[in-house]
Amino acid sequence: MAMASATEPQQERDKAFAPVLKVLNGIPLAVWTLIGLLLFWEAYVRIASVPPFILPAPTAIAQEFRDYGHRLFPNALVTMFEVVFGFTCAVLIGVPLAVAIVYSTFIQKGVYPLIVASQTIPKVAIAPLLLTWFGYGMAPKIVIVILLSFFPIVINSVMGLRSASEEMIHLARSMGANSWQTFWKFRLPHALPSIFAGLKLATALSVIGAIVAEFIGADQGLGYLILIAGSNFDVARQFAAIICIALIGMCFFFTLEMVERLVIPWRNKADVSGDA
Partner 1 sequence: MNAIPSPDSLSTPTTDSTPSQCAPHVSIAGVTKVFNGRKGRVQALEPVDLDIRRGEFVSILGPSGCGKSTLMMLLSGLLPSSSGRITVDGKEITAPNPEAGIVFQKDVLLEWRSALENVMIQAEIRKSDKAEAKSRAMELLSMVSLDDFHDAYPSELSGGMRQRVSICRALLHKPPLMLMDEPFGALDAMTRDQLQLDLLKLCRDDDMTVFFITHSIPEAIFLSDRVVVMTPRPGRIERIVNIDLPRPRRLAMREDPKFIEYVHELTGIFKSLGVFREE
Q: Which is nearer to partner 1, 181 or 232 (CB)?
A: 181
Report how far residue 141's alpha carbon sits from residue 139's, in angstroms, rounded to the nearest whole number: 5
End-to-end Cα spacing for the chain: 18
Question: Residues 66, 176, 262, 276: which binds partner 1 (CB under 8 A)?
Answer: 176
Question: Residues 23, 132, 273, 275: which binds partner 1 (CB under 8 A)?
Answer: 273
Residue 269 found at the interface with partner 1 (CB under 8 A): yes
Q: Which is nearer to partner 1, 138 or 195 (CB)?
A: 195
Question: Residues 7, 105, 174, 231: which binds partner 1 (CB under 8 A)?
Answer: 174
Q: Which is nearer to partner 1, 77 or 177 (CB)?
A: 177
The count of chain residues that interact with partner 1, using the rule CB under 8 A, is 22
Residue 13 found at the interface with partner 1 (CB under 8 A): no
Nearest to 150 by CA among 88, 212, 192: 88
Question: Residues 58, 189, 230, 249: which binds partner 1 (CB under 8 A)?
Answer: 189
Report how far residue 111's alpha carbon sits from residue 59's, in angstroms, rounded to the nearest whole number: 53
Residues belonging to the chain? 276
Q: Which stretch binds partner 1 (CB under 8 A): 73-81, 140-148, 176-184, 237-245?
A: 176-184
Residues 6+ apart with CB under 8 A from 84: 252
Q: How many CA atoms lie within 13 A of 249 on its CB side?
A: 17
Shortest approach of partner 1 to residue 176 CB, angstroms? 4
- What is the footprint of partner 1 within residues 206-265 (CB under 8 A)? 264
Report how far residue 205's alpha carbon sits from residue 140's, in angstroms, rounded to the nearest whole number: 16
Question: Residues 37, 175, 250, 251: which binds partner 1 (CB under 8 A)?
Answer: 175
Report how far residue 246's alpha carbon sits from residue 242's, in angstroms, rounded to the nearest whole number: 6
Rounded to 5°, angle at Cα 48 from 45 and 51: 60
Report how far residue 276's alpha carbon sits from residue 269's, in angstroms, rounded to the nearest whole number: 11
Residue 162 found at the interface with partner 1 (CB under 8 A): no
CB 213 within 8 A of CB 82: yes
Report how far residue 115's alpha carbon sits from residue 135's, in angstroms, rounded to the nearest whole number: 25
Shortest approach of partner 1 to residue 191 CB, angstroms? 10
Residue 163 found at the interface with partner 1 (CB under 8 A): no
Shortest approach of partner 1 to residue 91 CB, angstroms? 20
Shortest approach of partner 1 to residue 143 CB, angstroms? 35
CB 224 within 8 A of CB 76: no
Interacting residue ranges for partner 1, rule: CB under 8 A? 165, 167-168, 170-177, 181, 185-186, 189-190, 192, 264, 266, 269-270, 273
